[in-house]
Amino acid sequence: MAAEGGHSPLEQFVIKRIVPVDIGGVDVSFTNSALFMCIAVVVASTFLVLGMRRSAIVPGRWQVAVELSYEFIANLLKDTVGQEGRRYFPIIFTLFMFVLLGNLLGMVPYSFTFTSHIAVTFAMAFAIFIGVTVLGFVRHGMHFFTFFAPPGTPVVMLPLLVPIEIISYLSRPISLSVRLFANMLAGHTLIKVIAGFIAVLGVAGVLPLALVVALTGLEILIAFLQAYVFAILTCLYINDAIHLH
């Protein structure tokens, strides 16, 4: 039944052109992915701006939610980077809200999860990587290269250790982006696959239905968790760039 409708579990990840745009042979169409990124930005802005509209001393529910998200990231930065981390608050907070809303909007039926595309997550991770590397050079100049030589290493070991350290450093944007993308892709595909069993199994379909309900809860947890992991890793990278060893 599920098969004859042609509903593949992967169909939800198909990128569709909404407004085809072609500039100089480069396809820069406005896609459903771009649409949901815009929605995420609008929802985040609405949530924050309207939540703080009154900014009362005794906050209402909405304002508490906004303040909690603010304090959450502020504490995260304070714990990982320290007082110097305050100036990086805007970028971390923006990243966190963007990834979080991307994940959560993906949980709405018939919507599109832009964080389930490696192109999106890798672009973000690579931008962070470049930014953090530039930050390291700005803060430490050529001294930044000592980053790749752990203190107390014998000189004989350096030719072996430095390439390993550099590879380890270069693997950061990949592990950062793959972690988010794989989690979202796997979770959403799993829900669709299990949901496909419901209609096929008839009365026994109650079992996969229960499983889908549980998985949906788990996915919402993972949506928060992955946004948190993305933010905390960015904080740790900034911490490394500032403090080196």
Minimum CB separation from other proteins for residue 240, in Å? 5
Closest to other proteins by CB, 47 vs 70, is 70
Return all residues near 156 (Cβ < 8 A) that are at least 6 apart.
none
Minimum CB separation from other proteins for residue 34, in Å? 27
What kind and span of H or E run contains 31? strand 30-31
Closest to other proteins by CB, 170 vs 210, is 170
Minimum CB separation from other proteins for residue 8, in Å? 24
Q: How far apart are CA 143 and CA 245, in angstroms?
A: 11
Closest to other proteins by CB, 134 vs 225, is 225
**Amino acid identity at 205:** G
Minimum CB separation from other proteins for residue 1, in Å? 31
Closest to other proteins by CB, 26 vs 167, is 167
Closest to other proteins by CB, 193 vs 240, is 240
Residue 30 has φ and ψ, to the nearest 5°, of: -80, 110
Residue 110 has φ and ψ, to the nearest 5°, of: 70, 10
Return all residues near 29 (Cβ < 8 A) that are at least 6 apart.
17, 18, 19, 20, 21, 22
- Residues of this chain that interact with other proteins (CB under 8 A) are 57, 79-80, 82, 147-148, 150-151, 163-165, 167-172, 174-175, 178-179, 182-183, 225, 233, 236-237, 239-240, 243-245
Minimum CB separation from other proteins for residue 241, in Å? 10
CA-based Rg of the chain, rounded to a whole angstrom? 22
List alpha helices for the chain, DSSP H: 32-51, 61-80, 89-105, 118-140, 158-201, 206-243
Closest to other proteins by CB, 47 vs 137, is 137
Minimum CB separation from other proteins for residue 211, in Å? 16
